Structure 1
Amino acid sequence: MNAVTRMRSLHGRTAAGVPRWAVLAAYAVTLTTLPSCIWRIAAMIFDAPLLEHDAAAQPSPAFSPGWWYIIALSVVSEALAFLAVGLVAEWGQVWPRWIPGLAGRRVPPLAAVVPAGLGATVLMVFPYAMVMSALGRKLDGESAEVITHGWQTVLFWVSYLLLVAWGPLLAVLTVHYHRRRGAAGPRAVRVAAAG
């Protein structure tokens, strides 16, 4: 089984008319969250030396998540990123057969465009968050406590910097999906009316 066949079995068939760049962008979206998920699980669950021990030993009193939260955040992040594949796959145009009541029906374009567009908009916070982090600030502008030093900081940035691409990639895929599906709809109606 070659790599393309494996990808198809995991992600479904690519929809007709989807260019290669869009498929690569969709797969890239699924990879944007992976390094940060691995870093988070390694640092906060397996106690890898990715944080300063004093900072890791003293969680913020306002928010001290349990291990389940870290796992859930990582799984949900990956699942949401994976949904970008639906913008280029057949299951993003026709409901999969395992969905009761909808199986085999056409996915209304706005059912994908609206959540993907909202998601892309919300995800645009990552570039801002990374700039604020680089400046030693929290999102609200308050001074942030430094919890990494030296190589830990480099690894943190390598792990989290890809998140900056998630929102823009999803936005581009959403616009492409909307244009492709919107263009296919009226043309299909015209062909049916002419026949």
Structure 2
Amino acid sequence: MAFQLIGIVDENRPYPSKKTLLALLANGLNYIYHRSATPVGLPTDSLYGQNQILLAAPAPDMVPPPYRWHLKEADRLRLSAQEDLKTHLPFSTSIHNLADWPALAGRVELVFYSPLFPSISKTGYAPTVPLDELARQVQAIRAKQHQDLPRLIGLGGIDATNVSQVRQAGFDGAALMGALWQNHDPVTALQQIKASISA
């Protein structure tokens, strides 16, 4: 399966236009993740792009289809014993320990793991486990559990200079925030990241 690229909207910066969001999807971004269930600027006048948008919410009924439900780690841990999570599976969720990844097999499509590198957007947010150690853990988990593992998406400080390392470490994709929104042209930034993966 192709290496996935997910853009995370940075709520601390001016909100990107719908034109920019759709241009990113048209240029190879697989999904756009909003950390809120009711962000402004979502494409609502056509189905184009809606099923590529992840909305974070603590409950499935807060995310209207065809948008995709992202369940944050704290909400998942709180809901794990409740019926909602058994009958309505989220599309994606987050973890901060790779040991939690296998337990999500068959329950979600994407799992975001962070951080891989010092954050571009969040000062002082840096990894506690080196990437080469994470690569060993990923390999060991894949060797032990071959089926139904969600696609593993690396997050944190990823840009054109290091995205190829994320792929080499065994991740199935990369989530991008600062690399897109701290660039005056996010579409060009995305193209440079894609070129780095292909190089």
- Taking structure 2 as the reference length, the TM-score comes to 0.23
- Taking structure 1 as the reference length, the TM-score comes to 0.24
Bigger Rg, structure 1 or 2: 1
Question: Which structure features the higher share of strand residues?
Answer: 2
By relative contact order (CA 8 Å, sep 6+), the higher-ranking structure is 1
